[in-house]
Copies of this chain bind each other. A is one copy, B any other.
Amino acid sequence: MEVFGDNSCPPSCNTLGFLQKNNSLEEKGRLAGHKNLLSCDNSDRDARFRLTETDFSNLFARDLLPAKNGEEPTIQFLLEMVDILTTYVKKTFDRSTKVLDFHHPHQLLEGMEGFNLELSDQPESLEQILVDCRDTLKYGVRTGHPRFFNQLSSGLDIIGLAGEWLTSTANTNMFTYEIAPVFVLMEQLTLKKMREMIGWPNGEGDGIFSPGGAISNMYSVMIARYKYYPEVKTKGMSAAPRLVLFTSEHSHYSIKKAGAALGFGSENVILLSTDERGRVIPADLEAKIIDAKQKGYVPLFVNATAGSTVYGAFDPINEIADICEKYNLWLHVDGAWGGGLLMSRKHRHKLNGVERANSVTWNPHKMMGVPLQCSAILVREKGILAGCNSMCAGYLFQPDKQYDVNYDTGDKAIQCGRHVDIFKFWLMWKAKVSKASGNGPGVIIIYIFIQMLCTLKPQHTNVCFWYIPPSLRDMPDGEERREKLHRVAPKIKAMMMESGTTMVGYQPQGKNVNFFRMVVSNLAATQSDIDFLIDEIERLGRDL
């Protein structure tokens, strides 16, 4: 096993050190506070509702509310669904279950033991609908399983889950205060808190929740363009000079996507070189700005990444901000992955200088464990989002409403209808944020595992490594070894998915052939789970 991405990391600085600390602190947290838990007795006295044995085989969707006499079948159907879901929740946290039961697309499409994905033209009974739901979960992937390390978003937060169930039930839309009064206010208060965490004075500024980090990053480019060339909104890109954007070669691909979509062109997104830990080299930024200007381009925007996707690197924001000020450029910080560290007094220094940014992307659905989707774009200048995006549709944003229409936030968005992404996050904040003893305000319980990383050189919870099978251990470095090593991770990953025991991602990056990227963002993961992953990689890969 070779750990890379931090050449200065001493041999003792391995994942085990992290894990022991992780485990001990985690257990301490978990063992607290059960004193007053009532045992689940099965006496009837306290039961307020129950799932009765209902025959759903002759019931159909048309028998549910709003049908006459639909209330009882509706409640029983929903409770039956809850039985399926709570069983799934229990299994998700049960290490004796698999992470997934892998099948190829053609197998699922052919139908698995009666699970037929095809859409029919005869309504199914509610019994069959419930069976479909069980099967959907059976053949899916347990992203909350303690041994799922595959993605930056993982875990299954119970408060967040309950919040999302409520959101679905409320089934409303964020565009106006009129139909989402409570959620709109929750969004405003939460965005203000997030801006305070960033360090903008009094939490002033602007922001909105968007359907993910890529869209949040797209917003940042749009508002930068609007700030410097507002006439582009009405006249198009021909009203601006040839603009260029700058971002790390390790940054998320959404910056390039935004460049392509918004009419800059992906080639006008200039990639910056990084140091051995994946951080932007500020001198390279300045050199490329000067070079672009000499070629007749106009630099507009710099993205600094706080927590890169693969290495978990933090670009040096202050040094980048100095250059942005010198050349009068918009500074965006993509903290989709690392933004959550702003909640930690101990780790927020990794984002030092973030308060100098003009805009920040921060995805609570990643490091903070909020269920998908939950991403915010935060902006220092008030009113610029509305300036950039408003079209003043008369049927939604009537100026003659009886309430203060400044609370109608929909016209700031590039969306019209907008899903309620705030409630689960607001609820988790209410349930979890604490002035933890010794840490001061702003330490959120769900970060507990991050605190164990501080002695490690990797800047974040990304751990990137190769597994070197015995057959390659004595082979001299060179093209042949590289080619063989490149094939190791995909082979192990394939076997891992077939066995369904754990999941971890892999990819090449630059000159590095395929390597594993383990990400810890799931509070359920303990040392034993990471040991399990390592053992599993060894077991599956030793004969390659």
Chain B residues with Cβ under 8 A from A129's Cβ? 159, 162, 427, 430-431
**A253 to B47, Cβ gap below 8 A?**
no
Looking at the complex, which of A4-12, A180-188, A534-542 is the stretch in contact with chain B? A180-188
Interface pick from A130-138, A280-288, A325-333, A377-385: A130-138
Q: Which of B29, B46, B140, B418 contacts A183 (CB 8 A)?
A: B140
- Taking a contact as CB atoms under 8 Å apart, the answer to whether B85 and A121 are in contact is no
CB contacts (< 8 Å) of A395 on chain B: these are 309-310, 505, 507, 509, 517
Which residue on chain B has the smallest CB distance to residue A179?
B141
Instruction: Tell me whether A475 is interfacial, beta carbon within 8 Å.
Output: no
Known A-B contacts A162-B77, A309-B395, A435-B121; A417 and B85 likewise in contact (beta carbons under 8 Å): no
A262-B262, A490-B401 are known contacts. Are A49 and B50 too (CB-CB below 8 A)? Answer: yes
A417: chain B residues at CB < 8 Å are: 153, 212-214, 363, 365, 372-373, 375
Select the stretch in A264-272, A350-358, A451-459, A465-473 that faces chain B.
A264-272
Q: Which of B163, B212, B267 contacts A416 (CB 8 A)?
A: B212
Q: Taking CB as reference atom, which chain B residue is nearest A226?
A: B260
A161 within 8 A of B: yes
> Is A206 positioned at the interface, with any CB of B under 8 Å from its CB?
no
- Give A240 Cβ to nearest chain B Cβ, in Å: 9
Q: Does B372 contact A172, Cβ atoms closer than 8 Å?
A: yes
Number of identical monomers bound together in the oligomeric complex: 2
The A104-121 residues at the B interface (CB cut-off 8 A) are 104-106, 108-109, 117-121
Q: CA A39 – CA B166 in complex, angstroms?
A: 27
Pick from B55, B89, B185, B401: contact of A169, CB under 8 Å: B89
Q: How far is the CA of A518 from the CA of B517 in the complex (A)?
A: 53
Select the residue from A66, A373, A395, A403 with max chain B CB neighbours within 10 A.
A66
A14-22, A229-237, A477-485 - the one binding chain B: A229-237
CA distance in complex: A158, B52 (Å): 18
Q: Judge whether A432 is part of the interface by a CB distance below 8 angstroms.
A: yes
Q: Does A81 contact B (CB under 8 A)?
A: yes
Per-residue contact bits, chain A 495-536, to B (CB 8 Å; 1 contact, 0 not): 001100001011111000010010000011000000000000
Complexed CA–CA distance, A170 and B162 (Å)? 13
Whether a CB of chain B sits under 8 angstroms from the CB of A290 is no
List the B side residues contacting A33 at CB < 8 Å.
58-60, 62-63
The CA of A181 and the CA of B106, in the complex, are separated in Å by 11
**Would you call A260 and B238 a contact (CB within 8 A)?**
no
CA distance A395 to B518 in the complex (A): 12
Q: Decide if B123 touches A445 in the complex (CB within 8 Å).
A: yes
What distance in Å separates the Cβ of A464 from its nearest Cβ neighbour in chain B? 10
Partner of A236, one of B29, B268, B423, B508: B268
Question: Closest CB of chain B to A177's CB: distance in Å?
Answer: 6
CB distance from A309 to the nearest CB of B (A): 6
Does A71 touch B at the CB level, under 8 Å? Answer: yes
Please tell me if A386 contacts chain B, counting CB pairs below 8 Å. no
Binary contact readout A427-444 vs B (1 if CB under 8 angstroms, 0 otherwise)? 111111111000001100
CB pair B108–A78 under 8 Å, yes or no, is no
One digit per residue, 1 when the CB lies within 8 angstroms of any chain B CB and 0 when it does not, for chain A 23-53 equals 0000101111111111111101111111111
A371 to B88, CA, bound (A): 22
Shortest distance from the beta carbon of A348 to any chain B beta carbon, whole Å: 15
- Smallest beta-carbon distance A502→chain B, Å: 13
A-B contacts, 7 of them at CB < 8 A, read A46-B53, A50-B51, A74-B89, A161-B168, A234-B265, A252-B393, A257-B414
Inter-chain pairs besides A104-B403, A168-B168, 15 sampled, C-beta below 8 Å = A30-B68, A31-B67, A47-B47, A78-B162, A78-B165, A120-B430, A123-B434, A132-B427, A141-B179, A173-B372, A237-B238, A238-B265, A239-B265, A256-B391, A402-B497
